Structure 1
Amino acid sequence: MARHGRGAAWLVLASALALAACSAASDGEVSPAPTAAPSSAAPEATPSAEPAPTPSDLGPGVADELAALEAAYDARVGVHAVDTATGDHVEHRADERFAYASTIKALAAGVLLRGQPASALDEALPVTAEDVEGAGWSPVTGTRVGTAMTVRELGAAAVSRSDNGAFNVLLRHLGGPEALQAALVETGDTTTLVDAWEPELNRFTPGEPARTSTPRALADGVAALALGDTLDPGVRAVYVSWLTGSTTGDGTIRAGAPDGWTVGSKTGTAGRYGSRNDVAVVWPPDGAPIVLAVLTDRPGMDDEPDDSLLADVAALVLGAFAGA
């Protein structure tokens, strides 16, 4: 693995996080109905289904093994991983578009709390039938319709439990899909395209940009929120606890991480084309965190996702970092 000067690498990472600050079991999401075209507020984008895989500084062996996993699982795999201390990285289809599905919940919860004091976590928001009914997987808010929940509770439900209704409540408070799109653009993310609520945000077609992002954009966004200064320190600690408390990713990146490593992540499952994703911050026992996004899909609309693919990718990538 190529090594870079530690100070220089921190400058590179700080610049990336600053840009993002100016500039994660199945989720049970199904989207039966089509949605409108992306909002005019969304940045212009073009499909990116088939660019060549991007390079890695871990050497051709890792790239070859990632390609072998794609062939073995009959899947497309996108990876963006970076060691936040050294700048060492792995990139494989890092700028290709994949459905983000429920990984968007980690960005939405963080964006909502940008610039807010810790007291904002205790703001109570109403949970309405419109937020929950028809939203699909809502294990927490499904029992709370007609009551109020705090932002702290809703964030935990949306990020740790991938609760669709909780996401809809937070999105409504933010101002809807157009407001989330605008907020992401303000942070510098002109890649992620938002135009729908749950469960429709899972509806995507490979090769079309609507409701997609890239491994690089998602990894950078979660890194800025979990590791940068985008959030107040007290809010950031709670945000990280939502990621590390995830109940939906035991079989994905967490399953592939070396023993003793701490994983905070947000998963996503679109319910079509075998789409299964995980975006994580991973803390080795004695090193700086590694940011890792693994996005996958398969060629058939009815193909099933496979958690073991993500676990195998994580084991390969994190193992390479551990052995550097």
Structure 2
Amino acid sequence: MASDFLADLLDTADFRVGVAWLSLDGTPRLLHHQDERFYAASTMKVAVMVAVHQAVERGELALTDKLPLTDRYVSVADGSTYQLDPDDSDVDESYASGSATVEHLVEQMITVSSNEATNLLIAALGGGDVRAGVAKAAEAQRRLSATGSQLQRPIGDLAANGTGLSNLVTAYDLAAGLGRLVSGQVAGPAATEAMTATLCRQQRVETIAAGLPAGTRWGGKNGWVDGIRHDSGVVWPPDAPPYALAVCTADFGADETAIALIRTVSARVYAARSEFNA
């Protein structure tokens, strides 16, 4: 179902678009190709964050643990090592010291979408075994209500990608998962508060955030590669119940076209926020 206030935008788009606007309890407000599967890009990092906090709750990791930093990662396909494309590198000042805490890496993974931090945390989840780490992240994704999504490899693992292992997501899963996360359904109170705060420190603000009035509380995670642009977030309007929104796009010509569509969807959803029951 797609409401009239978005039909002109969504029905005329000449590229793939999936939208899910949900109440935090999962009640649909607007759905448009919500179950279509897209390459996940960096949206899968939310599941890694959840897996890390679940491991902390089990006593398997501590946020203060220091992890050695490396620019070589292990493929889940064949155990070979690989490096990330220099164009995708996003190291920060911690790399000069040779180590970083789990807490710092989670912050970098979510707020600036660090690929290095993501792969280091996946390995740490498995105690150095990347396959075990991916399995824990995938289980966290399932707890996020990811009925149509999959998480099968770290970032940049081309050997795994060549065997068909990939990370896929749907707009519905992204929105439903964030709703479950901030509602405390995937971790305990302390972890829920910490993860929500991390999402609210997101520094990429060109899509969902850009469609909101200045000062509106929101938090989320986006993802992008060539021909792919997604964003997902939770919005807390001051005069209406909070909601989760996810927009996935693919196969567009210009990146700005997808950015503008996501921004416009966000603005129109916010404008319609009071027309729906919580």
Q: Same fold (TM over 0.5)?
A: yes
1:53-72 equivalences in 2 (<5 Å): 55-56=1-2, 59=3, 61-68=4-11, 70-71=12-13
Quote the Cα distance in structure 2 between the aligned partners of 1:115 and 1:142. 26
Partner of 1:101: 41
Deviation at 1:109, TM superposition (A): 0.7
Does the Cα contact within 8 Å between 1:97 and 1:209 map onto a contact in 2?
no
Judge conservation of contact 1:267–1:278 (CA < 8 Å) in 2.
Answer: yes
Unaligned ranges ≥5, structure 2: 74-81
- 1:219 equivalent in alignment to 2:175: yes
More strand by percentage = 2
Query: What does residue 262 of structure 2 align with?
Result: 310
Q: Deviations over 1:125-161 (max 9, x none)?
A: 2222214942553434575167221221011000001
- Summarize deviations over 1:89-126 as a string: whole Å, max 9, x none: 11011011111100111121112212634983222222
Distance 1:213 1:86 in 2: 17
Kindly provide the CA deviation profile for residues 25-50 of structure 1, in whole angstroms up to 9, marking residues without a partner as x: xxxxxxxxxxxxxxxxxxxxxxxxxx
The CA RMSD over aligned residues, in Å, is 3.0
The yes-or-no answer on 1:128 pairing with 2:81 is no
Shift of 1:262: 1.2
CA distance in 2, matches of 1:96, 1:159: 24
Q: Which residue of 1 aligns with 2:29?
A: 89
TM-score calculated relative to the size of structure 1: 0.69
Q: 1:259 to 1:267 in 2, by over 3 A?
A: same
CA deviation after TM superposition for structure 1 residue 228, in Å: 2.0
- Give the Cα separation in 1 of the matches to 2:23 and 2:51: 24
Does residue 280 of the first structure (1) align with residue 233 of the second (2)?
Answer: yes
Where does 1:1-324 land on structure 2 (aligned, <5 Å)?
55-56=1-2, 59=3, 61-68=4-11, 70-71=12-13, 74-84=14-24, 87=27, 89-114=29-54, 116-117=56-57, 120-131=62-73, 133-134=83-84, 136=86, 137-141=88-92, 143-144=94-95, 147-175=98-126, 176=130, 177-185=134-142, 189-200=146-157, 210-248=166-204, 250-271=205-226, 274-298=227-251, 304=255, 306-324=258-276
Give the number of equivalent residue pairs: 256
Q: For 2:181, give the aligned amino acid.
A: L
Q: 2:93, 2:116 → 1: CA distance?
A: 7
- Deviation string, structure 1 residues 54-82 (Cα, Å, up to 9, x no partner): x14xx4x13523424x43xx322111111
Q: Take 1:188 and 1:87, find their aligned partners in 2: how far apart are those partners?
A: 13
Code of the aligned partner of 1:196: R
Provide the TM-score with structure 2 as the length reference. Answer: 0.80
Deviation at 1:183, TM superposition (A): 4.1
Letter in 1 for 2:260: S
Could you report, residue by residue, the CA deviation over 1:140-188 in whole angstroms, capped at 9, with x for unpaired residues? 4575167221221011000001000000011111233344224434665
Q: What is the CA deviation profile of residues 290-318 of structure 1, one whole-angstrom value per residue up to 9, with x for unaligned ones?
A: 11111111256xx5353212101111222
Letter in 2 for 1:125: L
Whether the 8 Å CA contact 1:267–1:277 is kept in 2: the answer is: yes
- Go from structure 1 to structure 2 and tell me whether the alpha carbon gap of 1:187 and 1:217 turns closer, same or farther (over 3 Å shift): closer
Runs of 5+ in structure 1 lacking a partner?
1-54
Q: Among all aligned residue pairs of Structure 1 and Structure 2, give the percentage whose two residues are the same amino acid.
A: 29
